[in-house]
């Protein structure tokens, strides 16, 4: 199994199996953050070019990651940034319908709920098998359906949607397909140029190992150009002009995705380190990282004593991700097991009464063995 551990700072016998909450910062990203701090202690060393170079370099790296041109990347500060851009910017009329998935993560649900005040129909599909499948979508579609917005990898069960199959249904019925890819991108390959999809949004600090206040979105250019969203941030509106013409007010209408970048794109403390994290993923290749993570997931599933625990996530198949949720046969013990793992320096998440494990490229077989030893030793 390839090892990526040398790209990260030492964990000192701590097993952080919790990428679904927050990813570890690579060494190169840490060094970039330290460099930015130095710049701010000596601002006379900061070149004005970095304010344009850093966001542009981040767009280039993220574009390569998802198979899109840099000019189509929208820089944000969360996955919610893109979701709110869509919910507030996509032109909808009274009676139009937006489809969501019942039980989805709140960030993917809540921005659309407010549209009911405008007469938009917001319907939550209840999947028959626990996660959305094309048959569920076909049953829910109506003549008024305009949008399907869903989460690619489910935080609460680890199911991965068949984005290609769902996107094909949407494409055939002229429905926009928008996806929150936060819990998968960085662990699983996703190429927007090969997918029937209209937009994705993503946090940066989980599987992409960025800082907390980071994220991005992508949307097909033809849809970007039809957004009705009042955003005229002064920096992109400068175009290529020098800052000495800062009060020569103008509204540019041909900015494309750049028009909707988050305010403060020269977010040096967050974006400079994140560039290095994304470059690391590009260097190693997401397919190799996925293979590494799959081996750790297999090790965990095969090593867990299933006479003591139930596994709530897919055991195999295309719907499996790197997120595994389990429960002791006596569910009331899960909270104490979670605390015991913490005491033994094994860090995971506790979600809706279940124990959530999410190994990533910085984890090793030893991390999984340590967790299994603790779990399997319990009665």
Same domain, yes or no: 120 and 226: yes
> Do residues 260 and 229 touch, judged by C-beta distance below 8 A?
yes
Same domain, yes or no: 251 and 276: yes
Same domain, yes or no: 215 and 267: yes
Provide the domain count of the chain.
Answer: 2
Query: In this predicted model, what pLDDT tens digit does every residue of 70-90 receive, in sequence order?
Result: 999 999 999 999 999 999 999
Please tell me the predicted confidence (pLDDT) of residue 253.
81
Bridge partners of 68, per DSSP, are none
Last residue of a domain, one of 283, 315, 346: 283
Residue in 360, 376, 254 with CA at minimum distance from that of residue 15? 360
One pLDDT digit (tens) per residue for the chain, 379 residues: 667 999 999 999 999 999 999 999 999 999 999 999 998 899 888 887 888 899 999 999 999 999 999 999 999 999 999 999 999 999 999 999 999 999 999 999 999 999 999 999 999 999 998 899 999 999 999 999 999 999 999 999 999 999 999 999 999 999 999 999 999 999 999 999 999 999 999 999 999 999 999 999 999 999 999 999 988 888 888 777 666 667 778 788 888 999 999 999 888 999 999 999 999 999 999 999 999 999 999 999 999 999 999 999 999 999 999 999 999 999 999 999 999 999 999 999 999 999 999 999 999 999 999 999 999 999 8
Which residue's structure tokens are 């800052």? 243
Is 273 in a helix, a strand, or coil?
A: helix
| Residue 356 belongs to domain with CATH number | 3.90.1150.10
Last residue of a domain, one of 249, 283, 317: 283
Same domain, yes or no: 109 and 218: yes
Count the neighbouring beta carbons within 10 Å of the beta carbon of residue 108. Answer: 23
- The verdict on residue 25 lying in a domain is no
> Do residues 163 and 188 touch, judged by C-beta distance below 8 A?
no
**Is the CA virtual torsion 205, 210, 211, 215 positive or negative?**
negative
End-to-end CA distance of the chain: 32
Query: In this predicted model, what pLDDT tens digit does every residue of 346-355 receive, in sequence order?
Result: 999 999 999 9
The number of CA neighbours under 13 Å toward the Cβ of 38 is 8
Instruction: Please tell me the distance from the alpha carbon of residue 230 to that of residue 245, in angstroms, as a whole number.
Output: 23
Same domain, yes or no: 261 and 330: no
- The verdict on residue 26 lying in a domain is no
Cα angle 59-62-64, degrees, rounded to a multiple of 5: 105
**Burial (CB count <10 Å: 0-12, 13-18, 19+), residue 249:** exposed
Please provide residue 195's backbone torsions phi and psi, each rounded to the nearest 5 degrees.
-120, 140
- The verdict on residue 106 lying in a domain is yes
**Burial (CB count <10 Å: 0-12, 13-18, 19+), residue 38:** exposed
Query: In this predicted model, what pLDDT tens digit does every residue of 273-328 receive, in sequence order?
Result: 999 999 999 999 999 999 999 999 999 999 999 999 999 999 999 999 999 999 99
Instruction: Please tell me the distance from the alpha carbon of residue 303 to that of residue 324, in angstroms, as a whole number.
Output: 13
Residue in 212, 274, 281 with CA at minimum distance from that of residue 58? 274
Same domain, yes or no: 181 and 297: no
Which residues, at least 6 apart from 171, have a Cβ–Cβ distance to it below 8 Å? 177, 196
Same domain, yes or no: 72 and 103: yes
- What the block records as the tokens of 306 is 């299933």
> Do residues 372 and 304 touch, judged by C-beta distance below 8 A?
yes
- What the block records as the tokens of 145 is 């359906």
Structural domain boundaries enclosing 276:
32-283
Dmax over CA atoms of the chain, in Å, equals 73
Last residue of a domain, one of 236, 264, 283: 283
| Residue 136 belongs to domain with CATH number | 3.40.640.10
């Amino acid at each position: 199994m390839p090892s990526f551990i040398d790209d990260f700072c030492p964990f000192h016998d701590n097993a952080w199996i919790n990428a679904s909450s927050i990813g570890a910062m690579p060494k190169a990203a840490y060094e970039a953050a330290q460099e930015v701090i130095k710049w701010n202690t000596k601002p006379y060393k900061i070149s004005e070019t970095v304010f344009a170079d850093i966001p542009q370099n981040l767009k280039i790296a993220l574009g390569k990651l998802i198979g899109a041109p840099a000019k189509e990347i929208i820089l944000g500060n969360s996955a919610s940034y893109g979701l709110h851009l869509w919910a507030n910017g996509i032109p909808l009329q009274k009676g139009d319908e937006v489809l969501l998935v019942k039980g989805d993560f709140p960030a993917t649900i809540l921005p659309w709920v407010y549209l009911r005040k405008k007469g938009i129909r917001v319907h939550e599909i209840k999947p028959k098998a626990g996660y959305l499948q094309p048959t569920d979508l076909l049953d829910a579609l109506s003549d008024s359906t305009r949008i399907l917005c869903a989460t690619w990898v489910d935080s609460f069960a680890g199911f991965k949607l068949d984005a290609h199959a769902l996107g094909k249904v949407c494409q055939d019925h002229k429905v926009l397909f928008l996806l929150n890819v936060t819990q998968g991108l960085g662990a699983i390959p996703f190429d927007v140029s090969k997918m029937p999809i209209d937009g994705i949004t993503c946090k940066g600090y989980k599987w992409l190992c960025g800082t907390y206040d980071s994220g991005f979105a992508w949307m097909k250019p033809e849809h970007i150009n039809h957004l009705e969203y009042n955003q005229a941030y002064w920096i992109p509106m400068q175009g290529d002009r020098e800052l000495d013409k800062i009060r020569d007010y103008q509204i540019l209408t041909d900015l494309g995705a750049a028009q909707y970048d988050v305010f403060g794109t020269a977010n040096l403390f967050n974006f400079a380190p994140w560039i290095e994290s994304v470059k690391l993923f590009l260097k190693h290749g997401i397919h190799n990282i996925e293979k590494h993570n799959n081996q750790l997931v297999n090790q965990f599933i095969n090593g867990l004593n299933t006479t003591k625990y139930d596994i709530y996530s897919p055991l195999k198949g295309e719907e499996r991700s790197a997120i595994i949720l389990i429960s002791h046969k006596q569910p009331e013990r899960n909270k104490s097991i979670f605390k015991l793992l913490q005491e033994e320096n094994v860090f995971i998440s506790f979600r809706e009464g279940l124990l959530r494990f999410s190994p990533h490229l910085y984890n090793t077989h030893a991390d999984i063995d340590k967790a299994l030893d603790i779990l399997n030793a319990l009665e």
